[in-house]
Amino acid sequence: MDIAGASSASLNEGAAGQLRNAVEQCLGDAQKFLEELIAFPSLPGQEHEAMLFLEAAFSGLRWAVARVPLDDKLRADPDYSSPLPDIRYQGRFNLRIRRPGQGGGRSLVFNTHVDVVPPSEGMHDAWTAKVLDGKVFGRGTCDAKGQIATLYLLACVLNKLQIPTRGDLILHLVNEEECGGNGTLAMIRHGERADGCVVLEPSNSRLYTSVRGAVWFCLACMGEAGHSGQPGQTRSALLMARDAMAAFEKYHAELLANSRGFELFDGHPNPMPLTFGRLVAGNWPASAPSRAVLEGVLGFLPNKTKEQVCEEMQRALATARDGSLADGSQLAFTYRHDSSVLSPAHPLPQTLLQAGRAAGRPLTVSGMTASCDAWFYNNQLRIPTVVYGPGSLSVAHSRHEHIAMADIAQAAEVLARLVAAWCG
């Protein structure tokens, strides 16, 4: 079947039927692939075995599979994220998988990640896939091993139908997205040229053309330990952390109020939340602790850069309680992502919207209220980038994480139509 060069909406009935039949025929292999992939506990820094599996699987499809080596020098990169200490990179690799075009067409990159977050509380046998009513359950099914399975299904379909394209199709399968995007950072530092990029994340039938930014912060408070019966002679680091939380909440409220007017985000009451995720302090109920460590994340919209937000958080801390809070505390930023913005009128999202309509899976343009790796491609490589994929963020990272195989099938059809129209 030759659908290259045709718009995704203009496929004749016979070609569209062949495409859907091919998706259906390959879906069982994609489910088996996903179930096998889930079995690898690919936590950040522990993706190597899963990468070996993926290398073999895509090589078996006769696509050009290349390792992109990682190096400990990555830790010195100014955009490196370090919420997890002591991760090393020697001997590890990302994968760059290429289906070469015949020349003269637009190229397209698909990016997604292999790492997953740890199993949730109450999540039993997280690394054993369970299938119920057409849904696959297990850690990573939705975020983002289901996205990798979608790309595997897409590859099988393109092979089965022998769909030719003029432009190259390139897959980036990367490490360490969950702890700051270090895998994609390493990938783009090797360079890539393309006319468009789709970062695959669970989007629940939405097409994200704007993605908010985020900073992760770590505040260490140093006080003066002492007995609870000695008021005035102690300085509780725990109370310092409490006051810092109040200062950051005040700053967040001001930032949110000044960040209205972005159409794709204004429908959300708080599209850029402040989250306090961890506070560690003390070792005895009747003692004021001398040290407290507060960790969290602050989202922000495109009216601010990561540098501005970091500076303003430092200022909020310095001015809180007449400046006394900054004395004895140290604020560090372990993750810094800028927002990613592409006009919905750009040809890439317009082509993807057309592909969704033609596949019977209409997409809604929206703003993503989480952070992901899109900004690396869009901002640093200047490759127009959007975010799309099967599944829903509402179940990602939860003990009920799952993805429907029907959603993977529909996403694969949408992406096949995108490839035909964009690269054809």
CA distance 62 to 34: 19
Domain count, the chain: 2
CA distance 80 to 181: 8
Chain mean position to CA 227: 46
CA distance 424 to 420: 5
Burial of 242 from C-beta contacts in 10 A (0-12 / 13-18 / 19+): middle
- Per-residue pLDDT averaged across 171-177, rounded? 98
Q: Strands (DSSP E) along 59-124, which ranges?
A: 64-69, 93-99, 108-113
Chain mean position to CA 423: 24
317 token code pair? 């801390």
CA distance 110 to 167: 13
Residue with tokens 């997890």: 84
* 343 domain-assigned: yes
Closest CA to 186 of 199, 172, 196: 172
195 token code pair? 């006319």
User: What pLDDT, in 10s, does the model give residues 42-99?
Assistant: 999 999 999 999 999 999 999 999 999 999 999 999 999 998 888 999 999 999 999 9
Residue 88 shares a structural domain with residue 17: yes
**Residue 35 DSSP symbol:** H
CA distance 198 to 109: 6
| Sign (positive or negative) of CA dihedral 350, 351, 353, 354 | positive
Percent of the chain scoring above 70 in pLDDT: 96
pLDDT at 86: 86
Residue 191 shares a structural domain with residue 218: no
CA distance 241 to 299: 20
Residue 233 shares a structural domain with residue 165: no
What are the phi and psi torsion angles at 347 (to 5°)? -55, -30
* 258 domain-assigned: yes
pLDDT at 233: 77
* 358 domain-assigned: yes
Residue 218 shares a structural domain with residue 202: no
Confidence bin at 13 (pLDDT 50/70/90): low
Around Cβ 378, how many Cβ atoms within 10 Å? 24
* 178 domain-assigned: yes
* 266 domain-assigned: yes
Chain mean position to CA 385: 13
Tell me how far apart the terminal alpha carbons of the chain are, to the nearest angstrom.
13
pLDDT at 325: 85
pLDDT at 361: 92
Confidence bin at 106 (pLDDT 50/70/90): very high
Q: Tell me whether strands 64-69 and 93-99 are parallel, antiparallel or unpaired.
A: antiparallel
Q: What is the CATH number of the domain that holds 263?
A: 3.30.70.360
User: What pLDDT, in 10s, does the model give residues 130-171?
Assistant: 999 999 999 999 999 999 999 999 999 999 999 899 999 999
Integer angstrom CA distances of residue 353 from 107, 209, 231, 360: 18, 11, 64, 11
Residue 172 shares a structural domain with residue 56: yes
User: What pLDDT, in 10s, does the model give residues 383-392?
Assistant: 999 999 999 9
Using the 3D structure, point to which of 302, 337, 372 is the last residue of a domain.
337
Q: What is the CATH number of the domain that holds 390?
A: 3.40.630.10
Chain mean position to CA 113: 7
Confidence bin at 11 (pLDDT 50/70/90): low
* 3 domain-assigned: no
∠ CA 263-268-273, nearest 5°, is: 115
Using the 3D structure, point to which of 285, 319, 337 is the last residue of a domain.
337
CA distance 367 to 387: 10
* 2 domain-assigned: no
Chain mean position to CA 369: 11
8 A C-beta contact, residue 218 and residue 334: yes
**Residue 373 DSSP symbol:** T
CA distance 407 to 209: 20
Residue 281 shares a structural domain with residue 264: yes
- Per-residue pLDDT averaged across 208-222, rounded? 97
Residue 39 shares a structural domain with residue 165: yes
CA distance 140 to 144: 6
Q: Which residues contact 105 (CB under 8 A, 6 or more apart)?
A: 4, 165, 166, 167, 423, 424
User: What pLDDT, in 10s, does the model give residues 20-31?
Assistant: 999 999 999 999
Instruction: Note down the domain range covering 261.
Output: 213-337
pLDDT at 170: 98
Residue 200 shares a structural domain with residue 293: no
Residue 272 has pLDDT above 70, yes or no: yes
Residue 5 has pLDDT above 80, yes or no: no
* 1 domain-assigned: no
Residue 255 in 3-state DSSP? Answer: helix
Residue 66 shares a structural domain with residue 105: yes
pLDDT at 221: 95
Residue 270 shares a structural domain with residue 375: no
Residue 44 shares a structural domain with residue 169: yes
Rg of the chain in Å (alpha carbons): 23
Q: What is the mean pLDDT of the chain?
A: 94
58 token code pair? 């895509």
Using the 3D structure, point to which of 305, 337, 369 is the last residue of a domain.
337
Residue 195 has pLDDT above 70, yes or no: yes
Rounded to two decimals, the pTM is 0.94
- Per-residue pLDDT averaged across 349-359, rounded? 97
Residue 381 shares a structural domain with residue 330: no
Provide the edge-to-edge strand list for the sheet that holds 291-300. Answer: 274-281, 291-300, 213-222, 329-337
